[in-house]
């Protein structure tokens, strides 16, 4: 991916983690069923649960088979997990990587550092050219103008939201430092919930984050500290310390971290403190509840955040098809086909 296409920010969304978990599980099931065709999906899940999702324990005989059989199983897993280049991943995992490890061990056996020639040799092995499923394709932007406009619009929105969330978390940590004298540096934001009033307007935010102590002597202790913060919707363009109603450390000793009713109902992964009286004014939201069980989303923020115009062909085609279906289902847009920008605006409000 080109550096100009990246959105590097200290935010990770729950949908990203959910997708990684779901697709990884799909891949493990596919690999096991490829090796043992008689297993159903439920059987494969049962065996994987018994082994802690370790294929080497679930199916040890798989890794003693011929290299082509291992590669076929890995490729089946990559396809089920919707990897963009399943054949390349299968080749890398089954033959390239073991060879690289052997070569690296051989190169390092009698020397303390690698020469530029050694590094070039290993790099060539890690990334064979051309890749097995690397097919040339014409420029996408000329064919899918609307899809690229949708992606650009969504990316601009994400950049604005991420900046707000990081500024919120930094402000909360600053207020915490003012109250306690303990200074922390933001590591990552992993959960944000916008709580709305009866008019469907954002009223306040709940945010989960991790941070490291600023004291260099503490920073080497290992794991970051978990924080919860609540903030009122800012009256100005940025959050101030007066907007922060609570910022506290979440105790890692708790095996189950509560969430407020709103965050649960919206399926938002925001860890809350154990004491409900300490946030939401103790009156808006009740602790505990049943969250909505949603499937892995078709698209996620990561699709827009890490969009690569040279790789993400399926994503572009999906947006183009979905946008075309949206226009076809709308009588107004069908009669105003030339007004693409208006259609994009309405599509974004409804689906993005």
pLDDT, tens digit, 9 for 90 and up, residues 90-105:
888 877 777 767 777 7
Tens-digit pLDDT profile for residues 102-147: 777 776 677 667 677 777 777 776 666 666 666 666 667 778 888 9
End-to-end CA distance of the chain: 23
Lowest-pLDDT range of 32-46, 96-110, 230-244, 268-282: 268-282
Q: Is 58 within 8 Å of 51 (Cβ atoms)?
A: yes
In this predicted model, which residue has the larger pLDDT, 254 or 323?
323
Average model confidence (pLDDT) for the chain?
Answer: 78
Write out the two tokens for 154: 């969504």
Residue 117 has what pLDDT? Answer: 78
Distance CA 256, CA 250 (A): 11
User: Ranked by mean pLDDT, which of 79-88, 104-113, 240-249, 282-291 comes out on top?
Assistant: 240-249
Distance CA 115, CA 18 (A): 41
How many other β-carbons are positioned within 10 Å of the β-carbon of residue 340?
15
Tens-digit pLDDT profile for residues 38-62: 999 999 999 999 998 888 888 888 8
- Tell me: pLDDT of 25 over 80: yes
Place of tokens 């003693």: 64
In this predicted model, which residue has the larger pLDDT, 97 or 150?
150
Residue 261 has what pLDDT? Answer: 60
- Tell me: pLDDT of 287 over 50: no
- Tell me: pLDDT of 212 over 80: yes
Residue 218 has what pLDDT? Answer: 59
CB within 8 Å of 317: residues ≥ 6 apart = 144, 147
In this prediction, what percent of the chain has a pLDDT beyond 90? Answer: 24
Confidence band for 293, pLDDT divided at 50, 70 and 90? very low
Query: Taking every pair of C-alpha atoms in the chain, what is the biggest distance, in angstroms?
Result: 74
Residue 352 has what pLDDT? Answer: 66
Q: Is 78 within 8 Å of 89 (Cβ atoms)?
A: yes
CB within 8 Å of 234: residues ≥ 6 apart = 240, 243
Residue 290 has what pLDDT? Answer: 38
């Amino acid at each position: 991916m080109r550096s100009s296409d990246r959105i590097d920010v200290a935010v990770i969304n729950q949908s990203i983690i959910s997708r990684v978990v779901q697709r990884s599980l799909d891949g493990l099931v596919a690999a096991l069923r490829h090796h043992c065709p008689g297993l159903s999906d439920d059987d494969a899940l049962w065996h994987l649960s018994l082994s802690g999702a370790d294929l080497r324990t679930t199916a040890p005989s798989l890794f003693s088979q011929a290299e082509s059989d291992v590669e076929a199983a890995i490729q089946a897993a990559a396809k089920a997990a919707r990897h963009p280049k399943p054949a390349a991943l299968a080749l890398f995992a089954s033959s390239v990587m073991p060879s690289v490890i052997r070569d690296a061990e051989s190169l390092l056996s009698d020397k303390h550092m690698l020469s530029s020639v050694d590094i070039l040799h290993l790099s060539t092995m890690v990334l064979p050219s051309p890749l097995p499923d690397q097919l040339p394709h014409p420029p996408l932007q000329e064919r899918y103008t609307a899809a690229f406009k949708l992606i650009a619009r969504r990316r601009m929105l994400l950049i604005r939201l991420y900046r707000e969330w990081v500024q919120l978390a930094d402000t909360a940590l600053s207020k915490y430092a003012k109250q306690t004298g303990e200074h922390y540096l933001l590591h990552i934001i992993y959960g944000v919930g916008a709580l709305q009033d009866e008019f469907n307007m954002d009223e306040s935010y709940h945010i989960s984050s991790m941070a490291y102590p600023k004291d260099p002597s503490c920073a080497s202790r290992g794991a970051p500290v978990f924080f919860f913060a609540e903030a009122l919707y800012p009256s100005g363009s940025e959050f101030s310390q007066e907007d922060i109603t609570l910022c506290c450390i979440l105790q890692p000793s708790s095996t189950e971290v509560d969430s407020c009713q709103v965050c649960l109902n919206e399926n938002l992964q925001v860890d809350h403190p154990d004491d409900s009286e300490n946030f939401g004014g103790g009156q808006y939201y009740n602790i505990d509840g049943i969250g909505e069980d949603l499937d892995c989303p078709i698209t996620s923020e990561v699709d827009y955040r890490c969009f690569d115009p040279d790789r993400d062909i399926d994503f572009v085609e999906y947006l183009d098809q979905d946008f075309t279906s949206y226009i076809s289902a709308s009588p107004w847009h069908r009669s105003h086909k030339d007004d693409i920008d208006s259609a994009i605006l309405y599509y974004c409000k409804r689906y993005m």
